[in-house]
Structures are given as structure tokens and as C-alpha cells.
Structure 1
Amino acid sequence: MYTLTPVTHPTADTRHPLLLLQSHHGDRYFFGMVAEGSQRSLTEGKVRISKLQDIFLTGQLDWSSIGGLPGMILTIADQGKDTLNLHYGSDVLNYIVSTWRYFVFRFGLSLKTNIMNDQEIYKDSILSVKSIITCMSTEQSNNFTEKEESVLRSIVANMFPKNAPTSKYDPSSDPYLNVELPRLSHTPKISTSYEVSFHPVRGRFKPEEAVRLGVPKGPSFGKLASGQTITLENGDVITPDQVLERERHFPKILVLAIPDDSYIQSFHEKFENYDCQDLGIVYYFLDADVTINDDLIKFMERFGNTVQHFVSHPKVCPNSIVFRGAAMIALKLKAMQQDSYNLPREETVLSKEFFECFQKEVVDGTTLQQSQEPPLTSSIPSDQVHVFSQNKEVQIESFTKGEEEMKIKLDFKPLRPFSWQHAYKKHVEPLNLRRGSFEKVIGSQINTDNFNTADKRANVEIVTLGTGSALPSKYRNVVSTLLKVPYKNAGGELQNRMILLDAGENTLGTIKRNFSSIAIRNIFQDLGLIYLSHLHADHHLGIISILNEWYKHNKHREESILYIVTPWQYNKFVNEWLQLEEPHLLSKLRYVSCEHLINDSFLRRETKPLDLDQYLNVVGSDARKRRKLETDTNSSFRQVEDIKAMFRGLNIAGFQTCRAKHCNWAYSNSISFYMSSTSRKLFKLSYSGDTRPNIEKFSKEIGYRSDLLIHEATLDNELIEDAIKKRHCTINEAIEVSNEMKAEKLILTHFSQRYPQAPQIDNNILVEAKEYCFAFDGMIVDFEKLGEQKSIFSQLNKAFIEERKQEEESE
């Protein structure tokens, strides 16, 4: 028996479909797209992937479709997995993985990329997977020369060495990794789909028939049962088919990924003469640019009326709340501080044609949108067509051809819509928080935005989008902080400056779940600066999605410029990645190196990458004579003109970094913003990034007397040894930094995921700042009222007893 389980479907939280195939022995395979949020969905659903060995990527590769893959690879490696295979139909896969070389590095994992040609078959002991490549041009699917391909394969291998490097290892100083990648001249328009077939099961052995044929009991029985032919002493030849029941087969599966309407005709042609015998299930992974119309329905009808059809499309799948554990935390916090949280949004716009054609029910609150005048009709029975969603599990079993029907069991669990009323009654009322009725906390707050409201237009506001560390968890996403700093121009008008401090995986998903489309447009049109503190994946795997969303709202606004202040290696990644996905965006980005803002006379130089020929010489040389990379002398000269332009563009008075005590090329920063064109009044922000306490450089120099300090507080106070080992701060150490800085106000964030709910609130040292608070995901903080959380400190631990108990039971 095999089980097919949807892991993700298109929602605000998870943008694309991912399908998990499991054997009854526990073997696991992924088919689909590993979007941001996929790993967190696995955690939410308690799906274990310890035996995952193969990921078959579908569709076109861009960040939206595989943004969750780097983080998932790191997690799989950290769980002790030693082998992982990535499959796809274009050599662009090796280029993609190579762009991650500065921040995806794990020893002990053997990561292999398998570039599959059209109709190529991958086999293991369980199944056969045939690739189906659909190209939108006559160009060859190969994007690189043989030499370039060998370099890319070598880089991928070197990202996952067998033996651990030294603790001070820096990938950008490694000649096996710091290489100029081959230039990608165009974005390949290729979509990869798959046909999955399972090896037949040998029929049951019939011992009575073997005895009748004169076969002696013992080893001969075993040989026949295993499919071998034997010869008896009298010379009779006995073949397995004489003593075995008929072979049993499994239904075939198609996983078809169609990126947009331009592919539909090619898919029609590709499957014109397709043999549908034994085909049991077709999964349609349709991107948003596929129109649900007659052409699509005709394509579906090619596979007949007996096949089970599962359709994934943003206008077919419900925008259900995926991370329900986090939503429940937000509800409890909102019950205590109503104006400090938005309720996660569930607005859904679905295809009227699809739901009427196949007579599917829609959940309450859904808007049906019509895209064509005549209604759709189909010869496929409605009960054979299903919406691809997380509750739609399928089991397939073996059957005997000619004797039995295909065995496909649809195990559809009732998907109870997320009900705020039910959640409030069951999880909030028993807490006796006495801070508001259902109507006050929820009824009047559905789709209400408490960020940048009329009474707070002139105030600094902070949204702690993600507040966890290391990897996404059920209750906290990885770190990201959005800052709104208003500026009054010469005309007396308020202009918003949005600043993003780090952006871990699925930061965009959090924004889309918490804000309306109009608010999102305003946020991204006002976004002027993205700051990245260091290259650890939990701080930046969401940045590319943020850049793409920013470009969507700003590409036609000529004056729009986005500054990105990052370690220099990340800028190389951005340039390499956007060559693949959105090269026009590069012209609107202005990069400044964190190192060039350092509060020091000495600037570390960047290391020069090797070109392809130099790299091949290094790889071919004796490993013991490891080549030392040259440094770029020009990189020690500050980007004075770029920095001045950033100061003018964002009305900044000062921007300094200092080296954080965490890893190579890690920084803390302080930024002073002008608040008005007619005043010299400043707002000074300091952000720690990840670091051990840095009193001398951070507290007493660049951050001294900050208006606001946002500091990591990863570990509880008794775990000081862990904090030292992992180069993080305890809560008391973060408070000490604030006290020495004489910061006016303090936000503590970046908590260890071992404390999924409230961190250590009691028994900390005295906070000398006027006001302080502990960050939670989605918390909206008005700087003027930052200390209001203090009134609920006594209730926070009580509020999360239920979640704490669940965590303990699952360990």
C-alpha cells in the first residue's frame, strides 16, 4: 500500500503544492514545489521526513517554488540524514543550488542533483519515475557547456563535504566554493512533470501446486517464490508462473505542473497519444497564471472518466489558515492586547466556473469570481474531481489486472473551517483573562488592521513579524522585524519609511496573512531599506520573496529605489539569483556593504572569487596544497557616494555597524533617522542581530543612548553555557546590553524555539529602560505605548499552559 498526502496547497502561508508519497515501509518521496513555509507545515502536521531520500521538483524553478528548499536541506542534514537526491528536468538546478554556497553548508550529507532528460526514468527498489519535460522554445534544455556543468556539479559537492571543517570556517574564503558562477544568459522556460509507476508485486506462492508438480519442500520452494526457475531431478523445468498467483499491479500516477496558459497547447500535444491504461490519479499543479477555462478542461478530459483528478490552483484551493498553532497564540495575545495584533486573514477568491462545473461546495466567506461568460461543462463526473488540499489523503493498493478494478481509496478527513468563535470559546474563555468579550476581541476585529492607523500616523511603529531562531516552529516563525519611521516633509506631509531588519523564511507569508492587499501595497511602496545582519539562513531566506514583492509594487514607479545593506557575500547571491528570475529588478536596487558602515578605521577586504579555469586548476591540484584566495584591495575603500545617496534618500543622519560576536561577517547596527525637514530631532534605532553581549562596541559606542534597542534574547538565563557555545545572549545578558547602552526602550526577540510560547519573563535583572516588552509573532508595537505589555506579564505564562502541555506530550 502507498499513501499520497498533500503537505501544502496554495495559500497566503504556502504558495504552492507539495505532495508526500509514502510506502508502508516508511519510504518517503516529495513531488511538487518546496515553497517557503513547507517545513513549518510539516511541523504543524506532525509529518516526519526522516526517511525522505528523493525530492522531485516540478514546474518552473523560481524562488516562490523552491524558497523553502535551502532551509529544509539544512534541517534534514541536522537530523543526521546522510543522503538526499534532488531531481529536475534542467541543468539550471545545479546553478540554483550553487548560488546558495555562501550560506548552505553542511558536512555529512551527500546531496546529489539528478538532471533528467525528457522521458528519462529514475528507478529504485520501489518505484519508477519518468520525467515529462515541456519546453516553450526550440532551444536546448542545456543552459551550460560541459565545462561549466562540471564546475557547478563540483561546487554542489563541495557544499556538502564528508568531514567537518574547522569551527572558524568561512565559505567565502574557500577556493572550492568562492567561484564566479557561469553566466545564465536567459531564464529557461521549462516545466518538469512526472509519471510515477510502482514495481509490480509478485503473486502469492502456492505450495500445494508446487507439491503437485513434484517440487520438494525446502530451498526449491524459496527459489520459485523469489521468481527463479528450477530443474527437478527428473529433468522437469518448473517456472515461477506455474506456482505463483498472478502478478499484482498498482495504479499509475501523473503529477503535471503547468506554469501558465502558454504551456497548455504543449501539454495537449505531449499527451496526445498517452496510454491511460492503469492510470489511476492525475495531480494538476496549476500556477496562478493558468486560466480555468475550456482548454484546461479539455486537457483534463484526455485522461478519461475513471481517473481521480486533483486540482491545485490559487483560485481552487481554499486560503485556509495553515499554521493554526500560531493563529491560536495570536488570538490569546489579542485577547490581552487587542490593538497589538491583527487576526490572520482568510479572504478567499475562487473560480466560479470550476466550482459550478464540478458542483463543489465552498466555505462561508468565499468570493466566487467569474472569468468567462459561458459556464464550463465537462464529461468528467464531478465525484472524480477534487480540490487539492491538506485533508485529501489517498491510498493505493495492488490489484490483479483483468480480475479486479484499480484500488484507490480516498481518505478525505473532514476539514473543519477555522472558526474564531469556536477557538475563542474553547481556548480563550476558560483562561478568564477578563480583557474583553468575543465581540470586542474578534467580532469587531475581523479584517481590521491595527497597524499605521489614523491615530498613529506620526508615531514610530514596529511589527515583529517573526520572533524565533534557528528554524520555523509551530508557534514562532524565524526572525524578521518591520519598522515604520515617519518623516514630515517641507510641505508638512507625513511620509513613511519602512525598514526591514532581517527576513527569515516566509516573512512575506506572514505579511500576506496579517495585512490587506491595500496595506501590503502601501508597505512595499514605502519600503526603502532591507538590512541583513549576517548570513545564517534563519535571517535571510525570506529576502528574495520580499524583493520580488517590492518590485511588483514599484516597477512602474521610476523614483522608487530600494537600499539593501548586507554582508558582501549576500549581494553576490542576490545578483546571481536575479539573473535567473528578475534581472530588471537589479537596476532598482542599491547595495551597501555592512562592512563599509563599520565604526572602525580598519575594513576587512572581500576575497576575490576564482574564475572557471582557475577553479578547475584548484580542483585538479593536490588538496594538501590548498590555494589561498586573493583579497580585493578596492573593497577596503568605503562606498562613500552610495552611503551619501542612501542618507539623502531615506533622510538618515547616521548609520553605523559594529562586528557582532557571532560568526564571520556578522554585524549589529545603529541608524539615526531625521523625523522632520524643519527639525534636527532624531530617532535612533539599534539592532543587535545575533551576538554575544557587546558592551564596548555596541552599547557604549554605536548604540549609546538609542531611542529603541531591538536585541536578541535567545536563551533563558540558566542556559548561559549554551549561550556561550552558540554565541547568543541570555535574556539577562540582553538586558545588560540595554542598560549599558542607556536605551530609552527595549524589545527582546529571537527566542529559542525550545520556548515556543512565553520566554522567561520573571526573575530577570532590572531593566533600566523606560519601557520594554517581549516580542511575539505579528505583534504591532506603537513606540509611544511600548511598555503596555507589562500589565499582562502575570497572565502570559498562564495563557500558554495548553500549548506547553501539548509540547511536552509530543516530546
Structure 2
Amino acid sequence: MLAQLNVLATPSAAEFSSSSILLFTGNRNRYVIGNFGEGLQRTLIQHKFRFKDTLKVAAVAGNVSISNVGGLPGLGITLSELSKQKQVVLLGHLPSLRAMIRTWRHFVLRSATVQFSFADTYADDMLAIRTVMLDNSASYTVQFADMRGRFLPQRAEALGVTDRKLYKILAAGQDLQLENGQTIKADDVNEPAKPGPRLFFLELSSDCLVSKALDVHWAAPSHPGAQCLSDAQRDNVVILSLGKAVDLRSDALAQLIHMFEGCKLFVSHTHLCKDYFSATSAAAALQKCAEVAPRLFSAPQLHLSDGDDDDYDAAAWFRDRYRHIAVLEAGMEMAILPQLNASKTTAWADDETVLDVTQSPCETDALRDPAGGIDDVQTVTLGTGSSFPSKYRNVSGTLVRTSAHHAVLFDCGEATCIQLARYYGSRAPAVIASIRVIFISHLHADHHLGIVRMIEQWTKAAPADRKLYIVGPKRVASVIEEWSAIDPLDLERVRFLDMYNQVRSDSTDTNAVKRQRTAAEKHEEYMEEDLVPVETGTKFSSDMESVVNELYGDEDSRIIEICTVKAIHPAMAYSMKVVLRIGEMGTFSVGYSGDTRPNEKFVNICTGIDLLVHEATHGDDLHEDAYEKMHSTQSESLLVGAAMGAKRIVLTHISQRYPKAGHGNKGHILASDLKKRLPETLKGSRYEWLLEIDDDKRVPEAIVAYDGMCVRYGDIKDVGATLEDIATMFEQD
């Protein structure tokens, strides 16, 4: 029997609020206990978690809040799509978890998400997990199965077993029947079984919960045949995951530590654990990009301080008093069976270097605030991947900054707030506070799972008199409002605006899973919609008209015009044009495609657009995939920009099959060059208009984006060669 524990996460200033561990057992089963915050998928990938392996249990520790379950929806979707796993046992505060999962009914999924079954306990032949509730906060005990005693071959021989090939049957604990009919009992030829060790995971966010933990009978058996705590004390592992509010010098904590005396003790606390990068491959890639192109990229930032002197005096006191207690660190590995052996392993891959985080973010040219002119408008690509996070590309998120105090965000995939924190360091709250409008293009999870945490962080950072406008499908508002009932959000300053003035009566047209149609039928259906301008005077319901008037009347929003068109994509998908005020008199227009096939109606509303941010999910060699999944190829996206006369293009939403691809063009390509790359099947189809674009039209300056890129509008025409240098660097690595 084998069992290993990997520490996935510890408290950090920018990412996880508490600890999380991954248990491996010899039967290839996996069990995650602790924090399921945003970014967990990338953390699992970093720890070489293979989604084809079975995740048996998701044990959510602590209270249910966006900070500790924000990554669970995305994990469930990814498990379903990549591993074809159908069910995971979910442990924790079950009423809140059920309410959280009910919010998922508003999502539109490419395939059915994994099913979570709710339970207080779980047991298989390797281990048993028991939930221990302290108020509404979940902690856990894990009892590993008894270990078989050592096989004694001399006893087997004495009982008449002469064929040594049969020893392995008895050694495995199975009885054996000889040819003469005699039955040899496995217990007669093996030493007595040894009780398996136990793991205690205590999630204690406050001094009150520390006190309540003293009243729990932690030694209660949770596995058939389990022994009492004192029977194998030295083999037991105790993890004290302490919240920031816990006093490290309290008497109650001292008593709790004494209760587990003799066990192998580990502790995590904000002021004991160092900040770190959970997605270390992505951080290392960003570091390399910053070295090659400091005007486009900044080295990722660690938060080196998150407390006052008294906090760190308490941490120093704790370390000195409890020298036998190890501080939990991300990347730590422990062999639970066959014997306890804890070791710290580096979280960096062999080909990656530890980051130099001494440079101040203010000294990095890429992060300089916009000065206010049109050439200085910044496009910050927070997530450039599609479908699900990977090591190098997070899911969708694009920030357009017109000044230090004004920005709009297009889509808000999982971990968008983490991306901002890593890029801007201590300045991240100010950047978040500068966001005035968030546009959610559609209801696929990779475009909106970060919205709840973004609202939470925005309301903490923004001035009390500022409003945040969220424009998107109405179901997004439903998700947010229902989440607020579980983990309260300050929604008094948040305004919701539905992108459409009406919802089609046949709602099944937004989910291809519910009604099977041919690809051609689906494309025809999505192209039937008319464009819908979002402007004063549109016939919304009275509350929507009020929000529209408020948005355009809010000088801080700097929104002059919003116009949307139905995208050629499922999940209530939209493309949009947004016109922003720059300085006193200037304007800046952005066209954002969201996910879509090339759309002539989108071209019509974006004629002469300053900046086109368009999806380019597939390479030109995967046109059939792009057509079937209702995405665009790179050449199609560039032709869309040429057709609308866009001045600059940023291509994003890149398939995860291209983790390190990036380049640009300087506007020397003609439409005729790109049309040669289009398949003959476009003739006679709804997309024939692409072939009819004037051959002599020049394709605008364009770049294929990387995560963490901050490019000024005036620089887009000049950075293509730099991005190709970065691509070459990655190829050489």
C-alpha cells in the first residue's frame, strides 16, 4: 500500500487564502482536501496532476466562500471534458455547497459537468475521510487502511506450501487452497496487521474555531478496524491551516498543539508562509518575456509584506517556541505510507529559473500608467487561452486602460484577479478600482468564472461613491445575485445591464447539447439575430432603461456608445463595439468579438474601429474544427479586421494546443494573401463574404497575444518582430 501527500497551496497574499493538499494512493485515486479557490486547475497541472486519473473526493475545508470554492466549477467542467469522469464525492458544509452548485444551472456548458455527490464521510479500500464541522467550517480526519503484516515464508513452508510462486497470494492477504484440499489462512503466515496512520486537516480561520477544536474527540475511528489516536501517535500527520485572524500566541492554540503532541505537526498561517507563485511555469515564462521585451512585459510580482510589525513579531515568537512544528510550504511532499517521510521539493521544473522579484513594479516600463493620449491606450492580456486554463495561458480576460483611473474589462475568466495581482503587485488594487465597466461576452464558463471575486475585490478597492457596471447576458446577474446569498457581496454599487433588449422564446438555441442539429443549421440560426444597440431610447424594461441612462450619464464611466450583435456561437454569445472618451474631447473605439465565427454584422457595426480584439482559436489548418465549434481561424480573424477597416488588431483566445505561439504583422499583408489560406468549402456558404473582400485591402497591424502582455496602442505596429523573438526563445527552450 502506498500513499503520498503533496502540498498544493498555502496562504498567499494574491492567490489562495488557506492551504490545500493532494493525496495520492497506490490505486491511482486522488483526493483533494482544503482550499478550492480560483487557480486550482493551474496548480494541479503544475503538480503534474493528470486529469485522466480519478479524483475521488473534493473535501472543501472551512466556510464556503468565493475565496475557497471559486475554482470548483472550472475543475468540475475540466474533469468532465478531459477525463470523462462522471462523479466526485463532495465533502464540506453541505447546505452552502448545494446552494453554490445550484448557481451552475445558469452556465451554458459544452458538455455535462462532472456530478458531485454530497456526503459527510467517504471510505474505500485505501482510506476513509470524515468531516468534522466546527460551526459552518469543515475540518477533516483521514484514516488510512491497516497495513498488512510482514509475510513469514518459514511458516508457509511449515504448513506445506512448497511452491514459492504461491507466496505472493498469501503475502497479499488472500487465503490459499492447496491441491490436497488443505486451506492455508493468510493470517497464519503473516504478522498481525499494523494500524494505518491518520491525517488530521484542521481548517481554523479564527480564535473561536481554535477553541472549539479543543472540544472535538479527534481520535474517533473513521475506518473499520482503526485504532485510537494514541496507538500510533508518531505516524499521524496533523495540518493546522490557520486563518490570518488566528493569534499565534494564544493559549487555546498552545493547548491544541499539546493535544497532538507526538504527531508530525505542520502549520500554515499568512504570516508564517512566504508568498509564492502557484503557476510557476507561467511565472517563469513571464519572467523570460520581461527580459526580452521589458516594454511589453513585467516580471511577476510577489507580495513581500502583508502585515505590521506585531504580526511578524508573533510569527517569530511562534517559530522560536514551536521549533518541532514545520511550516507548510507549497510543493512539499510527504510519503505517508509505507512510512512517514516529509521533504521539501522545489516547485520549479528543472528548466526553469527562480524569479528575481526585487524589481519594483513602478520601475517596469510595461506597467507605466497610460498618459491619456490615444497612442498610450493600453491593452493588457490577462488571459489568452481558450476553454480551460493551462500552464502558460489562463482563460479569457482583456483589460483596456485609457488612464490611470479608467479601464474596461472584456470577459473575466477564472483567476483574472490573480493575474492582475501578479502583474501589478502592490498596485493591483488601484488597477482593479479603475475598472468602470465589465463586459461578459457569453455564458461559457471560461469567460465569466472570475466575475464574483472581481466584484469582491473591486468593492474593497474602489471609492465608496464609485459604481461598477456589468454588461452581459442576464444569467450572469443571476449567478452573481445567488452567490451573494451564500457569500455576501456589496451589490449596492453594482449595476447590471442585459446586452439584449429581449430573449428569444426558444431558449434551447443557446445550448447545442439540448437539441441536436447539424453544424450548418446551428450557424444559420445564430446568424438570424439582428444587432442590438445599447443606447438611450432602446426599449428595455423600465429598470434596464434606468441603468442605461445611468451608465451614459455617469461621467466616470467614460462610455459614449455600446453596440452589440449576436455572435455566431452558442451560450447567449455577443460581439460588441464600445466607444470610450479619451481626455477632454478624444474618443477611442474597441471592437470585441468574444467567441464567434466570422460575422458580417459585427463588421458592419465596427467600421473604422480603432482597436479590434478578436478571437483566433484555431490555426488555419484546423478550419473544420473552427467551423464545428463556432470559432475563427487566425486568417479569418485578420480578414474580419481588414473588412471593417480596423486600425489595429490584437488576437486572443488561442487554443491551448498553441501554448507559446505569438507573433505579429506590420500591415504589409494583403487580403488576397489570406484568402488563399481559406478552404474552398466557404464558397456558397454564409461565410462566402470573406472571399469577396477586396484583394487589395491591407490587413491592419496585428499581434497574437501572450498572457501578461501590456501593449500600447501606438506600439502595436512595431512589436511583431519582438513577439517572434519571444516565440523563438520558447522554441529553443
Taking structure 2 as the reference length, what is the TM-score of the superposition? 0.81
Contact conserved, 2:468 with 2:493, CA < 8 A, in 1? yes
| Alpha carbons of structure 1 residues 20 and 69: separation in structure 2 relative to 1, 3 Å | same
Residue 245 of structure 2 aligns with an amino acid whose one-letter code is D
Contact conserved, 2:398 with 2:411, CA < 8 A, in 1? yes
Contact conserved, 1:705 with 1:744, CA < 8 A, in 2? yes
2:325 is aligned with 1:385 = yes
2:575 is aligned with 1:668 = yes
- 1:530-585 per-position Cα deviation (integer Å, ceiling 9, x unaligned): 1100011111111111111011124xx442211111101111111100111114x1
2:443 is aligned with 1:526 = no
- Give the Cα–Cα distance (whole angstroms) in 2 for the partners of residues 224 and 370 of structure 1: 53
Task: Give 3-state SS (helix, strand or coil) of 2:491's partner.
Answer: helix
Contact conserved, 2:214 with 2:256, CA < 8 A, in 1? no
1:276 corresponds to: 229
Give the count of matched residue pairs: 657
- Give the Cα–Cα distance (whole angstroms) in 1 for the partners of residues 632 and 34 of structure 2: 39
In the TM superposition, residue 690 of structure 1 has moved relative to its aligned partner by 0.6
- Give the Cα–Cα distance (whole angstroms) in 2 for the partners of residues 333 and 219 of structure 1: 60
| Root mean square deviation of aligned Cα | 3.7
2:312 corresponds to: 370
1:248 corresponds to: 194
- Give the Cα–Cα distance (whole angstroms) in 2 for the partners of residues 39 and 574 of structure 1: 22
1:467 corresponds to: 384
1:77 corresponds to: 80
Residue 72 of structure 2 aligns with an amino acid whose one-letter code is L
| Alpha carbons of structure 1 residues 106 and 665: separation in structure 2 relative to 1, 3 Å | closer
- 1:192-228 per-position Cα deviation (integer Å, ceiling 9, x unaligned): 1111111213434546546756899999997998577
| Alpha carbons of structure 1 residues 420 and 606: separation in structure 2 relative to 1, 3 Å | same
Contact conserved, 1:343 with 1:447, CA < 8 A, in 2? no
2:248 is aligned with 1:345 = no
Task: Give 3-state SS (helix, strand or coil) of 2:247's partner.
Answer: coil
| Alpha carbons of structure 1 residues 214 and 743: separation in structure 2 relative to 1, 3 Å | closer
2:603 corresponds to: 699
1:656 corresponds to: 563
- Give the Cα–Cα distance (whole angstroms) in 1 for the partners of residues 174 and 623 of structure 2: 62
2:407 corresponds to: 498
- Give the Cα–Cα distance (whole angstroms) in 2 for the partners of residues 219 and 786 of structure 1: 72
| Alpha carbons of structure 1 residues 690 and 307: separation in structure 2 relative to 1, 3 Å | same
Q: Once structures 1 and 2 are overlaid, which stretch shifts more, 459-468 or 272-281?
A: 272-281
Contact conserved, 2:298 with 2:367, CA < 8 A, in 1? no
1:5 corresponds to: 6
1:594 corresponds to: 499
1:163 corresponds to: none
Task: Give 3-state SS (helix, strand or coil) of 2:659's partner.
Answer: coil
- Give the Cα–Cα distance (whole angstroms) in 1 for the partners of residues 253 and 405 of structure 2: 47
Contact conserved, 1:93 with 1:115, CA < 8 A, in 2? no
In the TM superposition, residue 735 of structure 1 has moved relative to its aligned partner by 0.9
Q: Once structures 1 and 2 are overlaid, which stretch shifts more, 17-26 or 652-661?
A: 17-26
| Alpha carbons of structure 1 residues 761 and 707: separation in structure 2 relative to 1, 3 Å | closer
In the TM superposition, residue 605 of structure 1 has moved relative to its aligned partner by 5.6
Contact conserved, 1:21 with 1:29, CA < 8 A, in 2? yes
| Alpha carbons of structure 1 residues 781 and 243: separation in structure 2 relative to 1, 3 Å | closer
Residue 76 of structure 1 aligns with an amino acid whose one-letter code is L
Contact conserved, 1:201 with 1:249, CA < 8 A, in 2? yes
- 1:225-255 per-position Cα deviation (integer Å, ceiling 9, x unaligned): 857799xx99x99976544311122211101
| Alpha carbons of structure 1 residues 481 and 691: separation in structure 2 relative to 1, 3 Å | same
Residue 245 of structure 1 aligns with an amino acid whose one-letter code is E
| Alpha carbons of structure 1 residues 790 and 214: separation in structure 2 relative to 1, 3 Å | closer
Q: For structure 2, which runs of at least 5 residues remain unmatched after alignment?
A: 221-227, 509-538, 672-696
- Give the Cα–Cα distance (whole angstroms) in 1 for the partners of residues 168 and 285 of structure 2: 61
1:24 corresponds to: 26
Q: Map of 1:298-697 to 2, 5 A cutoff?
A: 298-349=254-305, 369-370=311-312, 372=314, 375-376=317-318, 380=322, 382=323, 384-398=324-338, 407-413=339-345, 448-450=363-365, 453=368, 456-458=371-373, 459-486=376-403, 496-517=405-426, 519-554=427-462, 557-583=463-489, 585-596=490-501, 604=504, 639-649=544-554, 650-677=557-584, 679=585, 681-695=586-600, 697=601
Task: Give 3-state SS (helix, strand or coil) of 1:309's partner.
Answer: strand
Contact conserved, 1:83 with 1:109, CA < 8 A, in 2? no
- Give the Cα–Cα distance (whole angstroms) in 2 for the partners of residues 378 and 578 of structure 1: 42
1:784 corresponds to: 714
| Alpha carbons of structure 1 residues 604 and 676: separation in structure 2 relative to 1, 3 Å | farther
Task: Give 3-state SS (helix, strand or coil) of 2:492's partner.
Answer: helix
In the TM superposition, residue 3 of structure 1 has moved relative to its aligned partner by 0.5
| Alpha carbons of structure 1 residues 637 and 304: separation in structure 2 relative to 1, 3 Å | closer
- Give the Cα–Cα distance (whole angstroms) in 2 for the partners of residues 685 and 237 of structure 1: 80
In the TM superposition, residue 70 of structure 1 has moved relative to its aligned partner by 0.9
Contact conserved, 1:647 with 1:653, CA < 8 A, in 2? yes
- Give the Cα–Cα distance (whole angstroms) in 1 for the partners of residues 112 and 248 of structure 2: 45
> Given the alignment, which residue of 199, 206, 214 partners 1:260?
206
Task: Give 3-state SS (helix, strand or coil) of 2:21's partner.
Answer: strand
Q: For structure 1, which runs of at least 5 residues remain unmatched after alignment?
A: 136-189, 353-366, 399-406, 425-441, 487-494, 597-601, 609-633, 804-811
| Alpha carbons of structure 1 residues 348 and 271: separation in structure 2 relative to 1, 3 Å | farther
Task: Give 3-state SS (helix, strand or coil) of 2:719's partner.
Answer: helix
1:139 corresponds to: none
Taking structure 1 as the reference length, what is the TM-score of the superposition? 0.74
Contact conserved, 1:294 with 1:376, CA < 8 A, in 2? no
Contact conserved, 1:714 with 1:730, CA < 8 A, in 2? yes
2:149 corresponds to: 203
Q: Once structures 1 and 2 are overlaid, which stretch shifts more, 368-377 or 265-274?
A: 368-377
2:71 is aligned with 1:68 = yes
Contact conserved, 1:606 with 1:635, CA < 8 A, in 2? no
